[in-house]
Amino acid sequence: MWYGSKRKAGLPVELEEEAVYTPTLSDLVTACGTPLRVGCDEAGNWKASASVPDRQLVGEGETAEEALARQWILIRRAT
């Protein structure tokens, strides 16, 4: 679970008391920023890549949504 507040990181999620948001594909594309590359290989593996200062980040997944979500997490950790 990714919290907007780092004070909650590592605490258990109580779904009855928490607001949980599931972003759409469009939300993830917007959140990852530009330049952004998203593609799928012949085996059906998705990759989303973007650059942050001094390195290239690549999120991978079985779907475009999963690859972009992992990409977003990598970007957040890098900044």
Contacts of 76 (CB under 8 A, 6+ apart): 2
Q: How far, in Å, CA of 28 to CA of 36, rounded? A: 11
Domain positions in the chain are: 19-78
Digit-coded pLDDT (tens) for 3-45:
555 566 667 767 677 666 778 888 888 888 888 999 999 999 9
Give pTM, 2 decimals. Answer: 0.69
**Which residue type, as a one-letter code, is found at position 6?**
K
49-62 pLDDT tens trace? 988 788 889 999 99
According to CATH, the topology of domain 19-78 is Double Stranded RNA Binding Domain (3.30.160)
Sequential DSSP letters for 1-17: ---SSGGGTTSPP-TTT
Q: Name the CA radius of gyration of the chain, rounded.
A: 14
